[in-house]
Structures are given as structure tokens and as C-alpha cells.
Amino acid sequence: MSIVTSIFKILSQSMLDSLESNRREPDKFQDKWFGKLMANGSQTSFGKEHGFTPKTTYRQFSNQVPLRNYDMIEPYIIRTREGQQNVLWNSPVTWFAKSSGTSSAKSKFIPVTKESLHTCHYAGMQKMLATYVHNNPSTKIFDGDALTLGGSVTPDELGTGKSNYGDLSAILLSNSPFWVELRRVPNKKSALTSDFEKKVKIICENALKYNVTNFSGVPSWNLVLIKRILEYTGKSNLKEVWPNLELFMHGGINFEPYRNEYKKILPGYMNYMENYNASEGYFAFQDDPADKSMLLLTDNGVFYEFIPLEMLEKAISGNYTSFETVQSVKTGVNYALVITTNGGLWRYLIGDSIMFTSLSPHKFIITGRTQLYINAFGEELMIHNAEKALAEACNTHNITVNNYTVAPVFMAGNKKGYHQWLVEFENEPENIESFRHTLDNAIRSTNSDYDAKRTNDTTMTELQIVTIKKGVFYKWFFIKGKLGGQNKVPRLSNDRKYATELLELNHMDNADHTI
């Protein structure tokens, strides 16, 4: 065991002890953070408008503070970006995480305070690493380099010259301590360049000089990077480039559609850990490799509330105000996640839906987005249904999907409607017609509403597959100026905006293949 690993084990013991308490007494930590948030919030403009005091109770809070989405909290954020202080939080705010999200084309600017940066984002990452080292006592993760693609930082045009925005990875890199930079590649300047192609080129040119033991980020963008590295070095898999590679910490999108491809390019010993590190906060990570659920972090600067999805419309309209907390949630229920944070977000509807798989400890899976679904024909196809079915179909046919999006094709004349899947395959199915049937049947088995509409083709016919040529999704990102970072393909849409754009690009590259 290296000296660095030994030191980390000693220093991280307090984090492991805290996590164990988190598992046993989550409500105690939530009560503690609720009190801290009320005390800090009472000193802000937002808090004074809503009657916060250091002794505000949860019942008072739930009666006084309406649920907010981004549009509703944006006026406060704009004031903060313009340089006003003590608007949402009672310490200076100079960083904003720019996020396009997956359900809206509008850019969001999420405030990142000094407190949220250190007690939420960095603390969550440290707890995840402490858990990994504890679960893997012979690890050599600290004997080599950590690879991160990174993003870019831009001075805030609304600010007074003191604030910046960028994606979360860029903010984390910009504020990381010097000792982290000693074993992170590429160097900070290269990692923060806004030119994604230039950044990839730098990494490829130096790949054989690195000794990467771990990397992190969004699976889709890292897959693009890995394939470029293999093409540049002429190696057949990534272990030939970095033989000591042992861990990929991933998040942002569902990993299952990419798992088979990662197994091919990362053969042998390899560990994977999912983490839930959003622009708004670090909420959870996978603490057990045998369990795909993630542990909810209740001592991380965040107070959580949960709205059953069937009650979400009432909550948005203000007719349902007392939500579930860690003390009252149940397993097997789809909840919209609501957060109050030391980043200055108050009863904020983050847009993700989750489902608890365990309450001792509190562990959950991300089931999708509260607005990311298709309901063009009453089928109510949620993202977790679609991704579970796609993973099953990929496993059945032993293929891998690089990217996809789904849009409805609406009824016209006597023709029934259906779902159109635009899919970029890494390796196409031998029989794409069989793959189409498998996928359609898998969705029917996981979603009763979809099955009802598909039974006897009542209102929907079988889904359609359009094979998108390799590189078209990448070109789509390029045109929109969204290469790299945490940008994601909108998986499910209730209109055809994204599908139309992608089909036009695909057609420019030659005719598409439709089944």
C-alpha cells in the first residue's frame, strides 16, 4: 500500500463514520441541516420575503414557501448574477453552474456558493472515494493519474467582473486545491479550454505518457474520448494504454446502454461507481458495487423533500404543500425530487424523479426526469421504462447503442401514431427487424399504459427504428455549440423538434435506414 493511500485511509475514517451515521439516522442529519439552512436563509432577501427565522419549523416553511422551478427562481438568480449580495444566500456568490438540462433548451445558471462547493460537491466526492478505498483495500488508485475532460469558464456578462459561469466540472476544476492537480490530467489549462476538439487532441497526444488509474464524467462523452485515444495510439483497448486503470466514476445519464461497450474497451479488472453530482448539488453515490441503487447523502448541505409524481401538478399549482421527507417516504413510489440547499436554492424542483429501493439505509435509483416522457397517445412512457427496455434489447441482441432520441409520429388521416426511435448503433443488430420487435415488447412489459395503447394497435402501432449514422449526434452537438461537458441528448420528446433536426443531418450524410 502506498503512503498516499495509507494517509488517505487515516484521513477518511471520519467520513466513513459520518456515512455510517447517515445510514442509521438520516432524519437527525436532515433536522440539523434544516436548522442551519433556516438560520442562514433568514439573513437573505429571499428569507425575509418568506418570513424565515432561525427557529422556523418545517410546517411553517412548507406553508410559507411555494414550490419553485427554475423560471420561478430565476429573477433572484439574475439579481445575484448582477452583483447583489444576500439575495438567495448570505455569503458572496461568484460562481454559477451553467446547465442546459434535458427538458428545456433554455440555459440555467445555478448559483454555487463557497459552502455548497465544499460541504456538498467536494464532500460528496470525498465520501465516494473513501467508500471505494474501504471496499477495495488493495487499490492503487492514488498511485497514478486521475483523468477528467473538464469544461470551460466564462466571465459572467451580467456581473461586475467578479463572477464566472461554466459547467459544473469546470467550476470544480477551477477551485480544486493544488495537491489535487499534482495527479490530475490533463493540466488545468488544457482541461478548461473551451475547444473540445483541441482538448481531446491534447489528451490523445499525451495518453501514453499518463498513468491513469481512474477517470470520471458522463459515459457518452468519455466514450468519444476513449475511441479517439485508441484510434490515435493504435491500441485495441484502453488497458493497453493504461494498464493500471481500475475505476470509472460516472453520472449524468443512464450507464446501462453503454455498459457492454465499456466492457469491450476495458477488459479485465475494472470498477464502476455511479454518482449523482448535479449542478445543484451532490446528492448520492453507489456505495455497493453489487447494488445499482445509490445512497442518499443526508449530511451534505441539502434538505430533501419528495413529491409523489401523481401529486406533482397539484404541488405546482399550490394545492399540495406538505411534501414527503426522509421520515415518510416509501419504497416503490416515483417521487419528484425537491431540494433546499446551501447553494441558495429553496424548495427547488430539480426536475429529476427517483424511486427508493431501501429505507434502511435510504437508497434509490433515478427513474428519469419529471418532464422527460412521451404522452402523445396516453401511453405515459417514462425515461426509466425506455432505458430499461433498451438495455434489455441490447443485451438480447448483443449490441451497443451510442446515442438515441425518441419522438412521436402523430396520427394522420387513417394512420395510427407510433414512436420513432432515432438510434446511433456502435454495432448494428444482425436483424434490425427482430431488434425492433424485442424493444417494442420490452417496453410493453415495463409500461402497462404503453401496452394498452399497443394492444391490437388500438391507438399506436409498433415503434419505428431509424438508424442514425455514426457521428450525426456529435455533429448535432457541434452545430449547437454543446460539445463535451455535461451536455446530454434529450432522450424523450413530446414534439418532433430534435428528431427533425437530426433526421435532416442524417439525410445530408446520405439516406437513413428506417425499419
Reported as a single tens digit per residue, the pLDDT across 332-371 is 999 999 999 999 999 999 989 999 999 999 999 998 777 6
Is residue 295 helix, strand or coil?
A: strand
Amino acid (1-letter code) at residue 298: T
> What's the mean pLDDT when you consider all of the chain?
91
Query: Is residue 486, in this structure, part of any structural domain at all?
Result: yes
Query: Is residue 418, in this structure, part of any structural domain at all?
Result: yes
Give residue 371's pLDDT: 64
Is residue 474 helix, strand or coil?
A: helix
Query: Is residue 388, in this structure, part of any structural domain at all?
Result: yes
Query: Is residue 289, in this structure, part of any structural domain at all?
Result: no
Total domain count for the chain? 1
Over the stretch 230-282, which tens digit does the pLDDT of each residue have? Answer: 999 999 999 999 999 999 999 987 788 778 889 999 999 999 999 999 999 99
Residue 303, strand partner residues: 340
Give residue 103's pLDDT: 42
Residue located via cell numbers 438520516: 26
Query: Is residue 165, in this structure, part of any structural domain at all?
Result: no
Residue located via cell numbers 442551519: 36
Judged by phi (left if over 0) then psi (alpha if -120 to 50, else beta), residue 127 lies in alpha
At a CB cut-off of 8 Å and minimum separation 6, what does 338 contact?
Answer: 67, 304, 305, 306, 307, 323, 347, 348, 349, 350
Could you give the C-alpha distances from 150 to 2, 195, 296, in angstroms and in order? Answer: 27, 11, 25
Host domain of residue 383: 373-514
Give residue 105's pLDDT: 43
Cis peptide before 186 (omega within 30 of 0): yes
Query: Is residue 301, in this structure, part of any structural domain at all?
Result: no
At a CB cut-off of 8 Å and minimum separation 6, what does 362 contact?
Answer: 26, 295, 296, 298, 326, 329, 356
Query: Is residue 207, in this structure, part of any structural domain at all?
Result: no
Q: What angle do CA 48, 51, 52 make, to 5 degrees?
A: 80
User: The C-alpha cell of 264 is what?
Assistant: 469491450
Over the stretch 87-134, which tens digit does the pLDDT of each residue have? Answer: 999 999 999 998 754 444 457 899 999 999 999 999 999 999 999 999
Give residue 514's pLDDT: 54
Query: Is residue 281, in this structure, part of any structural domain at all?
Result: no
User: 294 and 314 in contact (C-beta within 8 Å)?
Assistant: no
